[in-house]
Copies of this chain bind each other. A is one copy, B any other.
Amino acid sequence: MIRKLFLFGFLFFSVACFSQTKDEAFIRQIADEILLNGKTYDNLRTLTKTIGARLAGSPGMYKAEEWGYKMLQQSGSSNTFKQPVMVPHWVRGGKDEATANIAGKKKQLNVIALGNSIGTKGKGITAPIVIVNDFEELEAKKQQLRGKIVFYNYKFNPRYIRTFEAYGDAVKYRSQGPSLAAKYGAIGVIVRSMSHSTDNIPHTGMLAYDSMYAKIPAVAIGIKDADWLAEELKFNNNIRVELKTNGHFLPDVEGNNIIAELKGSENPDQYITIGGHLDSWDNCEGAHDDGAGITQTIEVLRALTALGYKPKHTIRFVLFANEENGARGGSKYAEVAQSKNEKHILAIESDAGGFTPRAFSFNCDDAQFEKLKTWLPLISPYGCNELMRGGGGTDIAPLKEKIGTPLCGFLPDSQRYFDLHHATNDVFEAVNKRELDLGAVNMAALVYLVDQYGL
């Protein structure tokens, strides 16, 4: 396209954005600071390319903590500190492998062991495979599962417009599927990746073993291989798969939530928390999950400081430890807040990717939600043109549970997220600079408004 298509739109926008009420003007300043001088993208490059994967307990975790501490210090906080928390230390332990054997013909399958899963103890396991499309089918076939490998082929439902709904619908096969298969004597599980991607990259993520049943090895399989396997199983119910994985737990280690504060001038003992999680899965750079949330959190601090903003309430910038396979960082943060009897006004989390901003979701009471909605015209020019009811995020959820803090989740566009979630292609190159920056703009605007007017 070649022309200035949207002239009327331009004019409307200009008038809307450059008028000079105090809040409009300050939010415009925030946007200019981030869009013109922002460090979000450069910081993300460092986190992903210099540090890289940073699962709890891994060498990357320690590097990420040091880096995060330094970045928060440099970005304007006079009070940066570490909050120790014991975190799990799961290691993959080697290459994950699966080979299908159909009447002597072998095919390598593209798999990755699920996080927190046990390995096959070196020698691997080989067994016939039984496909089930859902838990109902698992029940129907329960007599056939002893000694078998169960293949959960439940598909990500494309009918959901917001892809997190498809994830919410499908993820139980990854988290609970292994133990439910073990309940009927299965010795291994292959689960279709939680994705509607058009490639064959497998997506890991945490399983949760039920202590009632045997712990069995479990892997996720790429979509194309899942489709291939399902097709083959239509014609041959005697396909054997050899599975080799090496996952195991080492003793818990001490990690840290990395926290910076901008002290409140009027209500220093009332807190607004904004954060993301510093850990990532071990198989990727964790650029969207959750390098985006981390660098946006740091950027909000940097921009507010650069603008000389003196908050009324104390703003806490939190890089949470260990979300992916234990959620210990968020638990510790809430535990400490409760023990100190802290008053938290709102907690905001960015953990849904670094894509173009679309919405904020709130878990709060009706009066608070009504108040929040009055701010929509101030925020929507920057992308978040929807305020909805919903959750906040794994790291901040314990604040609600323990001390009743209202929660807010930043929701960028979700269409591309599950193409790369927990997969090797969650890399820096998949992040767009402006989309990442605009996320920080929207979050900073909300922090500013909550600080100015409370909830």
Contact = CB atoms under 8 A, between A and B. Distances in A.
Interface of A: 1-10, 12-13, 17, 31-32, 35-36, 41, 158-165, 167-168, 171, 196, 198, 205-206, 277, 289-290, 323-324, 327, 351-352, 356, 361, 363, 381-383, 385-386, 388-394, 397, 409, 411, 413, 415-416, 419, 421, 432-435, 438
Closest 6 pairs (CB-CB, A-B): A9-B390, A4-B168, A5-B391, A8-B389, A6-B390, A1-B351
Contacts of A435: 415-416
Contact of A171 (B4, B383, B394, B411): B4
Contacts of A385: 385-386
A280 B217 CA distance: 51
Copies of this chain per assembly? 2
A277 B1 CA distance: 9
A173 to B, nearest CB: 13
A4 B389 contact: no
Contacts of A397: 3
Contacts of A41: 198
A263 B262 CA distance: 65
A414 to B, nearest CB: 9
A423 to B, nearest CB: 14
A434 B8 contact: no
B419 A432 contact: yes
Given A165-B13, A415-B432, A432-B416, A5 B159 contact: no
A361 B8 contact: yes
Nearest to A351: B1
27 contacts: A1-B290, A1-B351, A1-B393, A2-B171, A2-B394, A3-B391, A3-B394, A5-B351, A5-B390, A5-B393, A5-B409, A6-B390, A6-B411, A7-B168, A9-B361, A9-B391, A10-B164, A12-B388, A12-B389, A13-B165, A17-B161, A32-B159, A41-B198, A356-B413, A385-B385, A385-B386, A413-B413
Contacts of A388: 8-9, 12
A162 B73 CA distance: 33
Contacts of A167: 4
Most buried by B among A12, A32, A161: A161
A6 B432 contact: no
Contacts of A392: 5
B363 A8 contact: yes
Contacts of A394: 1-3, 5
Given A198-B41, A390-B5, A434 B415 contact: yes
Given A1-B351, A4-B391, A161-B382, 15 more contacts: A2-B171, A2-B323, A3-B391, A4-B167, A5-B392, A5-B393, A5-B409, A6-B361, A8-B361, A8-B388, A10-B168, A17-B161, A35-B159, A385-B386, A416-B435
Contacts of A409: 5-6
Nearest to A28: B159
A345 B13 CA distance: 27
A2 B205 contact: yes
B4 A206 contact: no
Contacts of A171: 2, 4
Contact of A206 (B2, B35, B356): B2
A8 B352 contact: no
B31 A159 contact: yes
Nearest to A18: B159
Contact of A434 (B158, B289, B352, B438): B158
Contacts of A13: 160-162, 165
Contact of A356 (B2, B324, B415): B415
A158 B196 CA distance: 33
Contact of A196 (B1, B198, B361, B434): B434
A9 B393 CA distance: 13
Given A41-B198, A356-B415, A363-B8, A2 B324 contact: yes
B415 A7 contact: no
Most buried by B among A13, A17, A171: A13
A353 B386 CA distance: 22
A391 B356 CA distance: 23
